[in-house]
């Protein structure tokens, strides 16, 4: 964006409810006449402070840790936009925003590669027992190489089942194909025929995906329809040699059922980047060696988080200039 594109928006306040990369703040501050207030700590902003800063805010830049509900909106009577620095927006009551004429935006596209990279990494960590191996070394436990030590599962010729073949799912499939995995997917509709052909991917129903996949990767959005999509019945339908990977949203998986399945070897293992009651992790998961646990790192690269912040800021720029935002999820 050059100087001539910067809108004239006098006396407009932007409240940023969490710490974001400087590039995003710089873009917001470049709006002539704007006042930018930002919570600069990595902890969740106290409700009292948040409400004080929302009282005269025209725009709010939020993180996935913010619950944007009626209470949030009631504190912000002037609000025009909630720009969520995430691709998911299950933390936002979109209908409540719509009732108040508040536009909701997200940051799709920019985190596809980073999340797909992490998902592929989790596939490798779980199937090759890398987390378990690292814990062994760090514990100081004596060990010696042997032919049968920590045998894992190879990927070549195995089947990866992708639940949700959007941008991240497609990017994961591209990576997985290079490792020799066969691709099946479950989606509301077929992906483009050219994509199917390039990936040699086959669309199947959910039950078939569970029954035939050696690795099940969750890459679908979270909604009422996908809440506990992977429950006790779904886990029982998987192969006992199969692995579950979740880089989507935690509540897609019933963690209590997952703990039981892992403890009883109903499935071979799991790898989770997201959790049902994040940041709390089900205590039953913590003592299991056959699960990899990482703290919501899907988009955690410098490049991706910067792009997310600037995308959210650009949405604010457009709204405050009276233009259409880049990434509206509410019309």
Q: Which residues are catalytic?
A: 249, 278, 296
DSSP 114-133: HHHHHHHHHHHHHHTTHHHH
CA–CA dist 67, 72 (Å, integer): 7
Q: Are 216 and 245 in contact (CB under 8 A)?
A: yes
3-state secondary structure of 5: helix
E strand residue ranges, the chain: 8-16, 32-38, 59-62, 81-84, 103-105, 159-163, 182-186, 201-203, 215-218, 243-246, 269-272, 291-293
Q: Give the number of other CB atoms < 10 A from CB of residue 62.
A: 26
Q: Are 278 and 98 in contact (CB under 8 A)?
A: no
In sequence order, which ranges of 15-129 are alpha helices (DSSP H)? 22-29, 47-54, 70-74, 94-99, 112-127
Closest among 8, 273, 288, 311 to 120, alpha carbons compared:
273
Q: Are 305 and 299 in contact (CB under 8 A)?
A: yes
Retrieve residue 150's tokens: 């920590």
């Amino acid at each position: 964006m050059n100087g001539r594109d910067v809108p004239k928006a006098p006396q407009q306040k932007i409240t940023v409810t969490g710490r974001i990369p400087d590039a995003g703040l710089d873009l917001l501050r470049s709006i002539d006449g704007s006042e930018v207030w930002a919570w600069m700590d990595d902890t969740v902003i106290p409700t009292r402070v948040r409400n004080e800063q929302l009282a005269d805010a025209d725009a709010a830049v939020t993180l996935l840790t913010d619950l944007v509900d009626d209470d949030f909106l009631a504190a912000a009577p002037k609000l025009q936009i909630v720009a969520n620095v995430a691709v998911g927006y299950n933390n936002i009551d979109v209908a409540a925003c719509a009732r108040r004429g508040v536009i909701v935006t997200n940051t799709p596209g920019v985190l596809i590669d980073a999340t797909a990279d992490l998902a592929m990494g989790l596939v490798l960590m779980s199937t090759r027992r890398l987390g378990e191996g690292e814990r062994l070394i760090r514990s100081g436990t004596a060990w010696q190489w042997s032919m049968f030590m920590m045998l894992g599962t190879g990927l070549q010729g195995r089947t990866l089942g992708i639940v949700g073949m959007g941008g991240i799912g497609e990017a994961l499939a591209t990576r997985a194909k290079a490792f020799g995995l066969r691709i099946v997917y479950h989606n509301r509709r077929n992906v483009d025929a050219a994509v199917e052909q390039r990936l040699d991917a086959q669309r199947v129903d959910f039950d078939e995906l569970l029954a035939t996949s050696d690795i099940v990767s969750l890459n679908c959005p979270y909604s009422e329809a996908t809440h506990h999509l992977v429950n006790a019945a779904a886990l029982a339908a998987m192969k006992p040699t199969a692995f579950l990977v979740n880089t989507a949203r935690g509540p897609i998986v019933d963690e209590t059922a997952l703990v039981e399945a892992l403890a009883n070897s109903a499935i071979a293992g799991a790898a989770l980047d997201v959790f049902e009651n994040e940041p709390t992790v089900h205590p039953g998961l913590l003592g299991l060696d056959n699960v990899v646990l990482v703290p919501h790192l899907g988009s955690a690269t410098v490049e991706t988080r910067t792009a997310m912040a600037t995308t959210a800021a650009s949405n604010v720029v457009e709204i405050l200039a009276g233009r259409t935002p880049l990434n509206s999820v509410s019309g």
